[in-house]
Amino acid sequence: MPEEPLYIELNMTAEEMYQRNPEYRVFQEADAQPMGVTFQGYNFPRYKEPTVIIKYPNGTLSVDGVMSILAYDDNKQENYQLSKINLGFLFNHEVSGISDKDAYSKMMSFFQELQDKGWAYSHSNDVPRLTAKNSFIFATTVRKSDN
């Protein structure tokens, strides 16, 4: 795994993202979909998740333990800017040594950091209908998870 963090800037093109991170070339992944859409990004092996630096108009954000990055790329538009970027994490006691309670606390801390930096939650009908708090309640009460 490269020593340098992976760098993403909001509204960069897929080509710019890949050019900015040449040391991560081996982890690049593109998934072509029907209707002229490709999901661009990176997939990392377990136990070797990198730090990702995200630059946005008001500053930067450093995120540890990112397992995957997936960005929507519209092939019908030249130089399409990646405006929707998903970061995937894997918090699992057996894999990462992080308890469910600690993983929950870590994610809540991350959400608070985003809010403190001026980020706002954007609800969309194509995203899961559960909030972070409601998903925890669902998992522990409705599904009766022991975790």
Alpha carbons 6 and 51: distance in angstroms, whole number? 6
What pLDDT digit, counting tens, does each position of 69-87 carry? 888 888 888 888 887 788 8
What pLDDT, in 10s, does the model give residues 10-38?
Answer: 889 999 999 999 999 999 988 888 877 88
pLDDT in tens, 86-133: 888 766 666 566 777 877 887 788 888 888 877 766 655 565 566 777
Please give the pLDDT value at position 125. Answer: 57
Q: Cα–Cα distance between 83 and 141 in angstroms, integer?
A: 35
d(CA 102, CA 104): 5
The pLDDT value recorded for residue 44 is 87
- Rounded average pLDDT over 138-145: 62
Structure tokens at 38: 């490709």
Does residue 145 surpass a pLDDT of 60?
no
Q: Residue 7 — very low, low, confident or very high, per pLDDT cuts 50/70/90? A: very high
CA triple 83-24-94, angle to 5 deg: 90
Burial status of residue 72 (CB atoms within 10 A of its CB: 0-12, 13-18, 19 or more): middle
Domain ranges of the chain: 1-90, 98-147
pTM passes above 0.75:
no
Give the list of residues 6+ apart from residue 64 with CB closer than 8 angstroms, or none: 49, 51
Please work out, in degrees rounded to the nearest 5, the angle formed at the alpha carbon of residue 59 by the alpha carbons of 1 and 105.
Answer: 65
